[in-house]
Amino acid sequence: MTEREQSFLEYVQSGGQVEATDWMPDDYRAKLIKFIEMHGNSELMGVLPEREWILRAPTLQRKLALTAKVQDEVGHSQLIYRVVEDLGKPREQCLDDLISGKAKFHNVFHYPTKTWGDVGVIAWLVDAAAIISQKALLKCSYAPYARIMKKICWEESFHILHGRDVVLTLMNGTDAQRELVQEAVDRWWGPLMQFHGNPIAKDEDPMYVWRIKSQGNEEARQQFLDGYVPQIWELGLTVPDADLRKNDDGVWEYTEPDWDELRSVVTGHGPKSQDRLDLRRKARESSAWVRQVVLAEAA
Ligand SMILES: [Fe+2]
Ligand SMILES: [Fe+2]
C-alpha cells in the first residue's frame, strides 16, 4: 500500500467520508462497486418474488400496498445503480452482468413464493434482515451511498410494517391461515439465517476494513435474532431450530446455517435463480426499443 493509500485508509477508519469526486484507491473503488452493485441487483431481483402476488392479493388494500412496495424496491435499485454509475460502472453494464449471471444478488431472492403467507414473511422478516444491514450503511465511508440509504431505510421500515400487518391479520384468522404463516416461516428460516453471511471476523472482512460496512456479519445476525425472534414467538409461531436460544450473556445460539446452500444459491443454483434471470433477460430484450428511442431522442 502506498503512503497515500495508507492515509486514505486511516481517514475512512477514523470515520472520514469520501465524495464521488475525491481521490480514492483503486481497490476501494472496486470494492465499493462490487458491494453496491450487488445491493442494486438485489433490490431489482427482489421485486420478482413479490410481483407474482400482486394479481393474487386478497383485497384491494393489500394489492395497493404490495404494488407500492414493489415500486419502492425498483426505485431503490434505480438510486443504487446511479451511485455505481458515478463510481465508473454504467448501469447498462450492471444489467448485462446481472442477466449473464456474472454478478450476484442476495440469496433470499432465489427462492419461490408459494403462498400469500410468503408475501407476509418476506415483507416482515426478509425486509427486517435487510434493514439491519442497510442501517449499518448509513455510516458508510462513501458519502453518496450513505445519503441514499436514508431514503431507502425509511421506506424499508414501512415495508416491515406492511409485512407485519399481513402476518398479524393471518395469525388472527383461521387455523388454516395460521398454518400458512408457520409453513412460510419454516421454509424461510434457513435462507434468513444465511442472509448476513458466514461469521467471518470483522477485521478480515475488506468491506468492514474500508468502512463500507460498519458491522460484521455475525453482529448483524445477532441483531436480527434479538429484534425478531421474540416477536415471532409472541405471535405463537415457532422457528424450525430446536437449538435456538438466548444465552445469559445475551448472545443467541443457533444451529449452524447451511453455508453450502448459501454458496450454491448465490452462484445461480437456487430453485428460482434461472427462471428469474430469464424473466429479467426477456424484459430487457422486449424493452430494448424503448431505450433506443429515448437515447436517440437525447442524443
Ligand atoms: Fe429495498
Ligand atoms: Fe423493502
What is the percent of the chain where pLDDT is above 70?
Answer: 100
Q: At residue 287, does pLDDT exceed 80?
A: yes
Ligand lying nearest the CA atom of residue 129? 2
Average predicted confidence (pLDDT) for the chain: 96
Q: What is the pLDDT of residues 93-103, one digit of tens each?
A: 999 999 999 99
Report how far ligand 1's centroid is from the alpha carbon of 296 (Å). 31
Residue 297 pLDDT greater than 90, yes or no: no
Identify which ligand lies nearest to the alpha carbon of 156.
Answer: 2
d(CA 25, CA 156): 32
The total domain count for the chain is 1
Q: What pLDDT was estimated at residue 296?
A: 86
For position 295, what pLDDT does the model report? Answer: 86
pLDDT digits (tens, 9 = 90+) for 148-194: 999 999 999 999 999 999 999 999 999 999 999 999 999 999 999 99
Q: Please, what's the b/e burial string for 57-82 (b: 16 or more CB within 10 A of its CB; e: otherwise)?
A: beeeebeebbeebbebbeebbebbbe
Q: Residue 271 is part of which domain span?
A: 3-298
- List the grid coordinates of 193: 439465517
Q: How far apart are CA 36 and CA 176, in angstroms?
A: 41
**194, 258 contact by CB (below 8 A):** yes
Task: Put residue 105 in one of left, alpha, beta given phi > 0 → left and psi -120 to 50 → alpha.
Answer: beta
Are 273 and 279 within 8 A, CB to CB? Answer: no
Residue 297 CA, ligand 2 centroid: distance in Å: 34
Q: Assess contact for 124 and 232: CB atoms under 8 A.
A: no
CATH number at residue 281: 1.20.1260.10
Please tell me the distance between residue 124's alpha carbon and the centre of ligand 2 in angstroms. 9
pLDDT higher than threshold 80 for residue 42: yes
Find cell 388454516 and name the residue: 176
246 Cβ contact list (under 8 Å, min separation 6): 225, 226, 229, 252, 253
